């Protein structure tokens, strides 16, 4: 698509939003706060479409998210705080600043060095020191937050020299957890589970695996297999409560063959 068509489509979206804010009772009532939960929902719907490799779904959900961005910018302009031009100019400036290997004469060896430079440049923005973890949103889900925290500290060199070293940490945390289970201390058991999860997320990161996506794929696989088990049981005129675990396992193995 040429540039003129892209600009025309975006301009039409801005015009539509302007009209909605003066003509639609629902749109008129919306605030940053009322839109927040809807934006989170749209983000998860995009994440689902990405996992499903659904290009039509990705396109649709990106449109929904773009609408939200334009909506927030419209509200910002009504408050006299900022408008869509400020939003776009802000990200343009950031991208140019954080890609000196593209827009200046900085040299990088690979994508890893690009990520490291990104974090270093981010620390320098605004002319004052920013704490390394200050940019991690507090409302992120715990698993995603753990991964992001580890990525952030890696950017300043706080990481294993060799990725294989992480398994010693995983084994250490597993041992500490089993010891607390023996002691039957519920609070310490919870803490040790957290430490074990954190170390496993760290391992996933070091091996190039997104832990959130990995766990979600396992969730989906389990749900698919369990649904197969349940349907097969109903087809036999029984309920799951009537089956022994051994009988369930037999059908479960069938379900695995359907993957």
What tokens were used for 118?
């990104």
Q: Is the separation of the CB atoms in 38 and 68 below 8 Å?
A: yes
Of 3 and 92, the structure prediction assigns the larger pLDDT to: 92
Kindly indicate the confidence band of residue 12, based on its pLDDT and cuts at 50, 70 and 90: very high
Cα distance between the two ends of the chain = 39
Average pLDDT along the chain? 91
Q: Render pLDDT for 86-133 as a digit per residue (tens, 0 to 9).
A: 999 999 998 998 888 888 888 878 887 787 777 777 767 665 667 888
Residue 13 has pLDDT above 90, yes or no: yes
What's the pLDDT at 68? 97
Among 2.60.120.10, 1.10.287.1080, 3.30.43.10, 1.10.10.10, name the CATH number for the domain at 3-96: 1.10.287.1080
Indicate if 142-209 has the same CATH topology as 3-96.
yes
What is the CATH code of the structural domain delimited by 142-209? Answer: 1.10.287.1080
Q: Render pLDDT for 184-237 as a digit per residue (tens, 0 to 9).
A: 999 999 999 999 999 999 999 999 999 999 999 999 999 999 999 999 999 888
Q: Where are the domains of the chain?
A: 3-96, 98-127, 142-209, 213-257
Q: Which long-range contacts (CB under 8 A, 24 or more apart) does 10-19 make?
A: 13/66, 13/67, 13/70, 14/70, 14/84, 17/67, 17/70, 17/71, 17/74, 18/74
Q: Is the separation of the CB atoms in 21 and 83 below 8 Å?
A: no
What's the pLDDT at 169? 96
What's the pLDDT at 126? 62
Kindly indicate the confidence band of residue 175, based on its pLDDT and cuts at 50, 70 and 90: very high
What residues contact 248, with CB distance under 8 A and at least 6 apart? 229, 240
Question: What number is the average pLDDT over the span 157-168?
Answer: 92
Q: How far apart are CA 125 and CA 96, in angstroms?
A: 13
């Amino acid at each position: 698509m040429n540039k003129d068509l892209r600009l025309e489509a975006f301009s039409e979206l801005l015009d539509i939003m302007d009209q909605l804010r003066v003509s639609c009772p629902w749109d008129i009532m919306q605030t940053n706060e009322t839109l927040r939960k809807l934006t989170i929902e749209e983000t998860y719907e995009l994440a689902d479409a990405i996992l499903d490799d659904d290009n039509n779904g990705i396109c649709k959900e990106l449109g929904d998210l773009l609408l939200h961005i334009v909506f927030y910018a419209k509200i910002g302009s009504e408050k006299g705080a900022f408008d869509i031009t400020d939003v776009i100019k802000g990200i343009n400036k950031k991208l140019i600043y954080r890609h000196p290997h593209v827009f200046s004469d900085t040299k990088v060896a690979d994508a890893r060095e690009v990520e490291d430079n990104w974090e270093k440049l981010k620390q320098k923005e605004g002319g004052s020191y920013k704490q390394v973890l200050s940019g991690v949103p507090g409302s992120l889900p715990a698993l995603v937050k753990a991964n992001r925290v580890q990525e952030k500290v890696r950017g300043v060199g706080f990481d294993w020299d060799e990725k294989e070293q992480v398994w010693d940490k995983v084994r250490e945390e597993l041992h500490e957890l089993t010891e607390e289970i023996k002691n039957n201390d519920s609070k310490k058991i919870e803490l040790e589970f957290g430490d074990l999860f954190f170390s496993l997320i760290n391992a996933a990161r070091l091996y190039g695996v997104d832990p959130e996506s990995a766990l979600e794929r396992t969730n989906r696989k389990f749900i698919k297999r369990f649904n197969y088990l349940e349907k097969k049981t109903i087809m036999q005129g029984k309920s799951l409560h009537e089956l022994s675990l051994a009988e369930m396992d037999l059908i479960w193995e069938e379900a695995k063959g359907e993957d």
